[in-house]
Amino acid sequence: AGAYVNFYPVYGKMAWLDNKVAHFDVYAQLGAGQVTLKSGPTSTYSAGAGLGIWVNPKISTRFEVKYQNYTAQYYTGPLALDLTVASMQVGWLL
């Protein structure tokens, strides 16, 4: 479980193939929560940034990079894990 705060400091429009207009936004994200591991629950923190583009009223894309940190308990002791994930999503509005 976790909570996230998103901040959209930049949004606007851009010309797309000389005859279409695409809307876009740039965003930042901060989060905190708890993950349940085999060794028990632990706190997690995350930060991310992304770009969303609406190609037309029905299709959108999102490019995002997200960093997450938490500590896992192993037999040899605690180990801090730093994860970074880059993703691209495509959405279709029905």
Q: Which two tokens stand for residue 10?
A: 């930049």
Q: What is the mean pLDDT of the segment spanning 52-65?
A: 91
Query: In this model, does residue 70 exceed pLDDT 80?
Result: yes
What percentage of the chain exceeds 90 in pLDDT?
60
CA distances from 52 to 1, 13, 25, 42, 70 (A): 25, 11, 5, 31, 27
pLDDT of residue 66: 96
Q: 3-class SS at 6?
A: strand
CB 80, CB 45: distance < 8 Å? no
pLDDT(16) > 90:
no
Whether 19 has a pLDDT exceeding 80, the answer reads no
pLDDT at 62: 94
What is the average pLDDT across 69-93? 92
